[in-house]
Structure 1
Amino acid sequence: MDAVHITGTTRLYAVLGDPVRQVRAPALLNPVFARLGRDAVLVPVQVRPDGLPELIRSLTAVGNLDGLLVTVPHKQACRRLADSVTDAAALSGSVNALRRRPDGGWEGANFDGEGFVRALRAAGHEPRGTTVCLAGAGGAGSAIAVSLLRAGAHLTLWDADADRASALAARLAPHFPDRITAASRHVDADLAVNATPMGLRPDDPLPFDPAALKSGTTVADIIMKPRETALLRVAAGAGLPVLYGEPMLAEQIALYQEFFQLG
């Protein structure tokens, strides 16, 4: 990677998460800044959940900070801390990007869902009319649920916190009648998706058992590091087609460029 030249005019962007060792956005977005000739840099910032509100308030005082990306576990909390949000972010209840408003506040959006759907289509999987079982009703999962439903999929939602899955399904059901339900476990589907953090650490349990899926089910994992999670390794070993996590982020780059008005 080419060296990043930091000057007194450099505009700052940050990725907020806990942990941040797995984030891939700097490796993808900093080359975009360079290609566009933008004097800007994106850096990871680790912040614990209990320190997030204070950090967001403090960052409003940084005059050369133009935007924030948000990763696990802060996406839903940042929705509550944003001064305004897009319609899609309001529906999902989470954000993964914040940009500076003219009044100095933060406007939030979430591109996880659109990025995931674009990656699906790029891999030859059209969501319309398919059945999807989605593990995870948190920040990324809620955004992916909204975008899959908008794309015409039928969705079964599962989460280790059954109440959280039920609450999300109940919130989305009026907008997508008869196309979303909550379940206590994974069910047969055309596509099974892991949108939980399970798989970031080597000792994490599987979010669901690929062996219990029907033959031909495509298994997708949104985790980007490691590239081959235990879930995808087991799924591939069972003869199921798999989709890796990084294309979801790669498909969001153009969306970030538009949101942050990078040109």
Structure 2
Amino acid sequence: MHISGQTRLIGIVADPIAHVKTPQVINQSATNQGLDLVCVPLHVQGTNLHKVLLGASGIANLHGLVVTIPYKESIVEYCDELTDMARQVGSVNAVRIDPESGRLTGGNFDGEGMLAGLHQQGHRLEGKRVLLVGAGGAGKSIAAAIARQNPARLAIYNRSPARAEALLERLAAHYPTVDLSTSDGNAQGFDVIINATSLGLKDDDALPLDPSTLQAGALVCEAVMRAGDTPLLAAARQRGCRVHHGQHMIYGQIVQICRFLGVDLQHEHLARILGP
């Protein structure tokens, strides 16, 4: 990779940051396509987010920021504008910076990324009974994307029931014909189970749900991106389930995020950093 005074920049903001794989995917993909572009990890701690955004808005060759845990929801208040999806779900995972005005536009591509990854692997959610675990920043966007697919049922399980109920209320206003409910985490009777929490990044994380309730043949999906199976996917395999890795979601949304940030990254040049 050659970096010059003409190199375009994308940042990724997180805390912690060491686990993120987006820079590797974008940088290798940009190299494959011959783009003069680099994605840089930015470790932003605590209350420094607003300071970073104020500074970032003045960098003319910084196209924007990818945003991940724990800032997807808190960054909303600092955006000057929001896309329809970001406004609907109250969560942002990409911020575009206008090079002239410095105005920040927040978008959300978690849900679109999950759907793109599922579709690329031949999976559809129409008519399926779907259990979504997690009602945080990623969960909100994924829930809205699922609801648009006309599932037979969408149930949401969250450790804080109030968050799940608030998300359902918001979804019901936009998708009144979808069968929506909260869940206690029991996966019996569901065709598709999606983990939209961060549980699984570390081997000693608690499982997001009781794997003994998984039924053979169900499709168990991750938003967590790591090499190999997460503990949930490993447990799902033992129960005779099909599994879908978090890499597919990341690969599905990176092209969309880059285009939102003004970079035409072509899907055929996308680097597969962690396998399937």
Q: Same fold (TM over 0.5)?
A: yes
Question: Contact (CA 8 Å) 1:49, 1:74: kept in 2 or not?
Answer: no
**Pair 1:95-2:92 in alignment:** yes
Question: Contact (CA 8 Å) 1:227, 1:246: kept in 2 or not?
Answer: no
- C-alpha distance in 1 between matches for 2:150 and 2:101: 37
Superposed CA offset, 1:48-72 (max 9, x none): 2422122112211223211100111
Q: Which amino acid aligns with 1:45?
A: L
Structure 2: unaligned runs, 5 residues or longer: 265-276
Q: Which residue of 2 aligns with 1:221?
A: 222
Matches within 5 A, 1:159-178: 159-177=158-176, 178=178
Equivalences, count: 260
Q: TM-score when scaled to structure 1?
A: 0.93
- 1:226 to partner: Cα distance: 4.0
Matches within 5 A, 1:36-51: 36-51=33-48
Q: Secondary structure at the match of 1:75?
A: coil
Q: TM-score when scaled to structure 2?
A: 0.89
Question: Residues 192, 251 of structure 1: CA spacing in aligned structure 2 closer, same or farther, 3 A cutoff?
Answer: same
- C-alpha distance in 2 between matches for 1:62 and 1:23: 23
Matches within 5 A, 1:73-112: 73-101=70-98, 102-112=100-110
Structure 1: unaligned runs, 5 residues or longer: none
- C-alpha distance in 2 between matches for 1:227 and 1:145: 25
Q: Which amino acid aligns with 2:23?
A: P
Q: Which residue of 1 aligns with 2:69?
A: 72
- C-alpha distance in 1 between matches for 2:30 and 2:85: 26
- 1:9 to partner: Cα distance: 2.1
- C-alpha distance in 1 between matches for 2:134 and 2:148: 18
Q: Which residue of 1 aligns with 2:154?
A: 155
- C-alpha distance in 1 between matches for 2:244 and 2:181: 24
% same residue: 37
Higher relative CO (Cα under 8 Å, sequence separation at least 6) belongs to 2
Superposed CA offset, 1:130-157 (max 9, x none): 1110011011111100111111123101
Superposed CA offset, 1:162-207 (max 9, x none): 1111111111111112422222323431101111011112211000
Superposed CA offset, 1:6-54 (max 9, x none): 2122221111111122211111111332344332210111112422122
Question: Contact (CA 8 Å) 2:133, 2:156: kept in 1 or not?
Answer: yes
